[in-house]
Amino acid sequence: MLRGLCVCDLVPRPRLETRTRLVLIIHRYEDRKPTNTGRLAAACLANSEVIVRGHEGDPTPPFACDPDTQPLLLFPHENSLPLTELAVPSRPVTLIVPDGNWRQASKVRNRVRGLRDVPCVSLPVGAPSNYRLRAEAHEAGLATIEAIARAFGLLEGPEGPRVKAALELVFGAMVDRTLWSRGMVRTANVTGGIPAGVARR
């Protein structure tokens, strides 16, 4: 992204403190893409960790969750439980989120040792994705940061709406500014739009 369009100024400082811990498991191909949103979510959340997987000859270490937290894998596998139907965990949640295309994300449970027995959870049907930078093969598909925002909105209790809104603000600006730089939109929303003084080349 052009320096003048950088969204770093919208990333919360200090980073958002949450009871829920985010563990982002990102495929190495996705990690190189400028339109990736998973790392953007991790940059906003203090209680987060990023693991890059998929390097040939360098297997991902087994996943080990803090025993004081409840691990949950966010992916709509056949046996996943909707987050809205989940009993309120007595322990803080470690939310494991695979980041990559649908095929890459679907393999995380079997490719990373220690995840096969972690319960899977899914999001309730919500508003369509605002991610207009890539084609989405799945009708209900979301950008990674959108999925994280909606999950934290449910898991963080009374603080959930505030965390969700902060993540969605950064995401909206990233989408708007990227599209603007490509000449695909003339204006952007005021809150997360184009910084003053940035001229189209």
Domain ranges of the chain: 15-124+139-181
- At residue 1, the pLDDT reads 72
pLDDT of amino acid 128: 86
Instruction: Tally helices (H) and strands (E) across the chain.
Output: 6, 6
Q: What is the rounded distance in angstroms from the CA atom of residue 54 to the CA atom of residue 35?
A: 19
> In this predicted structure, what is the pLDDT of residue 118?
94
Chain centroid, CA 96 distance in Å: 10
Report if pTM > 0.75. Answer: yes
Please state, as a whole number, how many other Cβ atoms lie within 10 Å of the Cβ of residue 15.
15
Structure confidence at residue 201 (pLDDT): 47
Per-residue pLDDT of the chain (201 residues; tens, 9 = 90+): 778 888 999 999 999 999 999 999 999 999 888 889 999 999 999 999 999 997 777 778 889 888 899 999 999 988 899 999 887 778 899 999 999 888 888 999 988 999 999 999 999 988 888 888 876 666 667 999 999 999 999 999 999 999 999 999 999 999 999 888 888 765 554 346 666 556 554
Q: Are 40 and 145 in contact (CB under 8 A)?
A: yes
Three-point CA angle 74, 30, 33, nearest 5°:
130
- CA 194 vs. chain centroid, Å, equals 23
pLDDT of residue 119: 93
Q: 27: helix, coil or strand?
A: strand
Q: What DSSP line would sit under 148-195, residue for residue? A: HHHHHHHHTGGGHHHHHHHHHHHHHHHHHHHHHHTTS-S---TTTSPP
Across 121-141, b (16+ Cβ under 10 Å) vs e yields bbbeeeeebebebeeeeeeeb
The CATH code belonging to domain 15-124+139-181 is 3.40.1280
Amino acid letter, residue 123: L
Which of 20, 76, 23 has the alpha carbon at shortest distance from 53?
23
Strands (E), 57-118: 70-74, 81-82, 93-99
User: Whose structure tokens read 């991790």?
Assistant: 42
Cβ atoms 22, 145 nearer than 8 A: no
